[in-house]
Amino acid sequence: MTYLAFHNLLQQKFRLALSMVGVALAMMLILLLSGFQAGVYQQATAYLDHTPADWVVAQDGVTNMLSATSLLPASTEDLARMAIDPVCGMSVDRANAPAQALYDGQVIYFYAAGCRDEFLATPERFWERTGQTGGAL
């Protein structure tokens, strides 16, 4: 079968030239599009490198930063350190939380030890209140 293909190509020089030009153009097009893609990604990261934001947030599994970011001001850092007690609803500093518990693989921070004890007695009731079905609080 390959003999027949080579025979047909070599018999008609015009077909051979057209085939070679077609392959060369296809390779040039692939290189051109790869260059465009690399340039777009470089420009997207240049934008992020020069933005005045202190934090860049992206979803899990993001492989490139194009159209997948949220920019947050520096004041948001304090909010990121805070957690909400699922029992009483108070804000709790994660670094100085009076009580903690591990539930469903997540560390939960509490405003007081009494809140932790109440949560551990019936965790499902408070877990649903947070709107979580598993995962991070």
Average pLDDT over residues 94-119: 89
Return the ∠ at Cα 71 (arms to 68 and 72), rounded to 5°: 140
Q: Answer yes or no: pTM beyond 0.75.
A: no
- The owner of tokens 């509490």 is 110
| Phi, psi angles (nearest 5°) of residue 70 | -135, 135
pLDDT in tens, 34-65: 999 898 878 877 777 777 777 777 767 777 66
Domain spans in the chain, listed from the N-terminal domain onward: 2-72, 76-129
Tokens of 105: 């693989």
The answer to whether 118 touches 86, Cβ cutoff 8 Å, is no
Residues 6+ positions from 82 with CB-CB distance below 8 Å? 91, 92, 93, 94
Q: Residue 104's Cα: distance from chain center in Å?
A: 23
Residues in the chain: 137
| The pLDDT of residue 132 | 45
Q: pLDDT per residue over 15-34, tens digit each?
A: 888 889 999 999 999 999 99
The label of the residue with tokens 């992206």 reads 58
Q: Round the average pLDDT of the chain to a whole number and report it.
A: 80
